[in-house]
Amino acid sequence: MTDLHTHAEDIVAQFSDHLDLTVDEVEERLDNLVNEYRVPVDEARRSVVNSYLDEADLEREALGGGGNASVGLGELDQDEQWLDVTAKVVELWEPRSDSVAQVGLLGDETGTTKFVAFETSDLPELAEGKVYRLENLVTDEYQGNFSVKLNRTTTITEVDEDIEVGDDAETVEGALVDIQSGSGLIKRCPEDDCTRVLQNGRCSEHGDVDGEFDLRIKGVLDDGEAVHEVIFDRESTEALTGTTLEEAKDMAMDALDTTVVADEMRTGTLGRYYRVSGPQFGRYVLVDEFERLDDPVDAEAALIEARSI
């Protein structure tokens, strides 16, 4: 109940310039929706706010903050949070399901996040590279990753401005202490839209297939305080190891064994220090850029720092 009371206080404060409300009456309306009609709190709050907006003859923006949170796209950390954002459509992807109208990447100053619009919501189409004011989005969480969903109530207004989309790349460094199985020369399922890594020539979705060779490294960077799992794709694996996909195939052919490739990679990279940066995806940082930390250490500076610990 105290939760509803807090929401009621917020709403009264929001309308303090426009309507003469009491916390009790607002709380009663919220309580009715939440406890009588089983409406989720966020939705109840929206609905109550909307009715007062009508009463005061106001647009949502006039409230400055409105009923929805304004959180940067790179800073999402709650599931099912209602949001208003001004964002740029960074990329549009090919929807993989008939129920999805549009899917892609939205960005604002704080970073980027995936968005999905469903066919059933019947919304106007977003164009890549354009900036929109989007109101009434809801966040979604899957395995620690946040995305936003557009829905029937979402309003879309094109905005005539450009946004410098923020870089929410993670940067981590440490010694490369492990290259995990599934690294080196691997085969991926060739089926459309399936890039699963084959296990003994089998795709977990499509069964026995004739896989396509690829390179990757699933590694662990460890700084003595924390571990970071990182994935180097083919391009960054080639840059890291100096071995191209073609060379790796030749090595495997000569040895009649694909595991020689990962073994060779381990010999050349384990125990060295690296700094990598790229987007975080679940447990992994997907490496966009990396550098080997092999400059001579500045022992004098280290000593000065150490004496201060």
Partner 1 sequence: MSQAPTREVARRVFAREFNDASHTFKESDDERAPVYLLLPTGERANRVFLVGTLTEKEDVGEDDEYWRGRIVDPTGTFFVYAGQYQPDAASTLRDLEPPAYVAVVGKPRTYETDDGSVNVSVRPESITAVDSATRDRWVVEAAQRTLERAAAFEDESNEYARMAREEYDLSVDDYQGMALAALEGLDETDELGADTDAGLDAQAEH
Q: Among candidates 95, 136, 130, which has minimal Cα distance to 114?
A: 95
Binding mask 175-204 for partner 1 (x = CB under 8 A): x-xx--------------------------
Closest CB to partner 1 among 78 and 267? Answer: 267
Burial class (CB in 10 A: 0-12, 13-18, 19+), 73: buried
Of 24, 195, 283, 291, the one binding partner 1 by CB under 8 A? 283
Residue 62 near partner 1 by CB under 8 A? no
Residue 300 near partner 1 by CB under 8 A? yes
Of 31, 109, 222, 238, the one binding partner 1 by CB under 8 A? 222
Taking the C-alpha atoms of residue 193 and residue 260, their distance in angstroms, rounded to an integer, is 29
Residue 31 near partner 1 by CB under 8 A? no
Residue 303 near partner 1 by CB under 8 A? yes
Residue 225 near partner 1 by CB under 8 A? yes
Tokens linked to 91: 């990329």
Binding mask 133-162 for partner 1 (x = CB under 8 A): -----------x------------------
Closest CB to partner 1 among 94 and 295? Answer: 295
Of 48, 266, 278, 290, the one binding partner 1 by CB under 8 A? 266
Residue 40 near partner 1 by CB under 8 A? no
Q: What is the 3-state secondary structure (H, E, C) of the chain?
A: CHHHHHHHHHHHHHCCCCCCCCHHHHHHHHHHHHHHCCCCHHHHHHHHHHHHHHHHCCCHHHHCCCCCECCCHHHCCCCCCEEEEEEEEEEEECCCCCCEEEEEEEEECCEEEEEEEEHHHCCCCCCCCCEEEEEEEEEEEECCEEEEECCCCCEEEEECCCCCCCCCCEEEEEEEEEECCCCEEEEECCCCCCCCECECCEECCCEECCCEEEEEEEEEEECCCCEEEEEECHHHHHHHHCCCHHHHHHHHHHHCCCHHHHHHHHHHHCCCEEEEEECEECCEEECCEEEECCCCCCHHHHHHHHHHC
Residue 98 near partner 1 by CB under 8 A? no
Residue 294 near partner 1 by CB under 8 A? yes
Closest CB to partner 1 among 145 and 155? Answer: 145
Minimum Å gap between C-beta 299 and partner 1 is 4
Determine the interface stretch with partner 1 among 112-120, 128-136, 174-182, 245-253 (rule: CB under 8 A): 174-182
Of 19, 100, 227, 245, the one binding partner 1 by CB under 8 A? 227
Minimum Å gap between C-beta 282 and partner 1 is 8
Judged by the rule CB under 8 A, the positions of this chain that interact with partner 1 are 144, 175, 177-178, 220, 222-227, 229, 263, 266-267, 269-273, 283, 293-297, 299-300, 302-303, 305-307, 309
